[in-house]
Each structure stands twice: as structure tokens, then as C-alpha cells.
């Protein structure tokens, strides 16, 4: 089965990662292929992610942390 080289996916999520050259320096372009939502990350943001402790990243994964909050429902 062919898998696009820019996609990281599993049964829960599918995200495309590309290097974007349109801005004044390179950025990482992330696209949630299930919704089409796009976000860019610059170098300093990426470095920050690398250094994020597991616990802090886990907190962001809580489905009600940012995405599915009751006030948005």
C-alpha cells in the first residue's frame, strides 16, 4: 500500500507535514487531514516542542484541554 511520505497517521489521527518556503524563513506546515485545519510552526516553536516534558505534552492531549470544551459545544 502506498503511503504518502509527508503523512504521519494511525488509527486515531492523520497529519501531513511539509516544509513551507513561502514565508521569510522556513516553517513546518501541519495539516490535520481529518478536518483540514492547518497550523505552521517556526523553528523556536519546534525546539520548544522537543524540550516539552512528557507530562506537559500529556496535559495537552486531554480532549477537553483546548479542543472539546463545553463552552464551545
Partner 1 sequence: MTLTDIPTSSSGARGPAAPYDELIEAQRVHGSLYTSPAIFADELEQIWYRTWVYVGHVSEIAEPNDYVRKNIGPQDVIMTRSADGEVHLLLNRCAHRGNLVCEADAGNSSSFRCPYHGWTYRNTGDMLGYPFHGGYGGRGKLDLGLGRVPRVGIYQGFVFGSFAPDGPTLEEHLGEAKGEIDRLVRLSPEGEVEITAGFLKHKARANWKLLAENETDGYHPQFVHASIFSVAQSGIGALYGEKSTAVTRALGNGHSENDLRPEFRRIGAPLGWFGTTEEKVPEYSAAMRARYGDAAEEILIEGAPHVMIFPNLFIAEIQMFTIQPLAANLTVQHVTAVQFKGAPEMNKRMLQQCIGSVGPAGMLLADDTEMYERNQAGVAELRPEWLDVRRGVHREEIDERGLTVGGATDETGMRGFWKHYKHLMTEGRAQ
Give the residues lining the site for partner 1 (CB under 8 A): 22-27, 40, 42-45
Question: Looking at beta carbons only, is 24 or 64 nearer to partner 1?
Answer: 24
Question: Looking at beta carbons only, is 26 or 34 nearer to partner 1?
Answer: 26
Q: How far is the CB of 38 from partner 1 (least distance, A)?
A: 11
Cα angle for residues 73, 12, 67 (degrees, 5° grid):
25
Question: Looking at beta carbons only, is 11 or 22 nearer to partner 1?
Answer: 22
What torsion, rounded to 10 degrees, do the Cα atoms 34, 53, 68, 37 define? Answer: -30
Q: In the Cβ-directed half-sphere of 37, how many Cα atoms lie within 13 Å?
A: 6
Amino acid at each position: 500500500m502506498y503511503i504518502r511520505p509527508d503523512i504521519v497517521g494511525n488509527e486515531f489521527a492523520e497529519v501531513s507535514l511539509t516544509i513551507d518556503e513561502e514565508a521569510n524563513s522556513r516553517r513546518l506546515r501541519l495539516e490535520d487531514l481529518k478536518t483540514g485545519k492547518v497550523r505552521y510552526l517556526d523553528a523556536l516553536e519546534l525546539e520548544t516542542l522537543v524540550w516539552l516534558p512528557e507530562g506537559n505534552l500529556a496535559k495537552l492531549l486531554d480532549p477537553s484541554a483546548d479542543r472539546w470544551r463545553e463552552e464551545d459545544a
